[in-house]
Structure 1
Amino acid sequence: MTSKGHFITFEGIDGSGKSTQARRLAEHLRSLGHDVILTREPGGSPGAEEIRALVLQGDPDRWSAETELLLFTAARRDHMERLIQPAVDAGKIVICDRFADSTRMYQGLSRGDLRGKVDTLHDLMIGREPDLTILIDMNPGQGLARAKGRQGTEERFEDFGTDLQEKMRAGFLGLAKEFSDRFRTINGAQDIDAVAQDVQAATAAYLSSSG
Structure 2
Amino acid sequence: MNASRGFHIAFEGIDGSGLTTHSKRLVMELSRMGYRSEYLKEPTNGPIGVLIRSFLRGEGRVRHDILALLFAADRLWNYHSSDKPVALLKKEGYIVVSDRYKYSSAAYQGAFTDPEWVWIVNSRVPHSEPYSIH
Partner of 1:167: none
Partner of 2:116: 116
Partner of 1:64: 63
Deviations 1:92-112 (A, max 9, x none): 00000000000000011x222
* SS of corresponding position for 2:122: helix
Partner of 1:79: 78
Q: What amino acid is aligned across from residue 127 of structure 2 in structure 1?
A: E
Deviations 1:131-183 (A, max 9, x none): 0xxxxxxxxxxxxxxxxxxxxxxxxxxxxxxxxxxxxxxxxxxxxxxxxxx26
Unaligned regions of 5+ residues in structure 2, if any?
none
CA contact (8 A) 1:38 1:95 kept: yes
Are the structure 2 counterparts of residues 8 and 65 from structure 1 closer, same or farther at C-alpha, using a change threshold of 3 Å?
A: same
Measure how far apart 1:68 and its partner are: 0.6
- Larger RCO: 1 or 2 (CA < 8 Å, sep 6+): 2
CA contact (8 A) 1:47 1:78 kept: no
Identity rate, percent: 28
Q: What amino acid is aligned across from residue 4 of structure 1 in structure 2?
A: R
Unaligned regions of 5+ residues in structure 1, if any?
132-181, 185-201, 206-211
Instruction: Name the CA distance, whole Å, in 2 between partners of 1:121 and 1:89.
Output: 24
The structure whose Rg is larger is: 1
The aligned runs of 1:128-207 (5 Å cut-off) are 128-131=126-129, 182=130, 184=132, 202=133
Partner of 2:95: 93
Higher helix share: 1
Q: What amino acid is aligned across from residue 68 of structure 1 in structure 2?
A: L
Instruction: Name the CA distance, whole Å, in 1 between partners of 2:74 and 2:54.
Output: 11
TM-score of the aligned structures, taking structure 1 as reference length: 0.57
TM-score of the aligned structures, taking structure 2 as reference length: 0.87
Q: What amino acid is aligned across from residue 97 of structure 2 in structure 1?
A: I
Q: What amino acid is aligned across from residue 102 of structure 1 in structure 2?
A: S
* Alignment coverage as a number of residue pairs: 130
Are the structure 2 counterparts of residues 79 and 34 from structure 1 closer, same or farther at C-alpha, using a change threshold of 3 Å?
A: same
Are the structure 2 counterparts of residues 54 and 74 from structure 1 closer, same or farther at C-alpha, using a change threshold of 3 Å?
A: farther
Q: Which runs of 4+ in 1 moved over 3 A?
A: none
CA contact (8 A) 1:43 1:51 kept: no
RMSD after superposition: 1.9
Instruction: Name the CA distance, whole Å, in 1 between partners of 2:117 and 2:87.
Output: 23
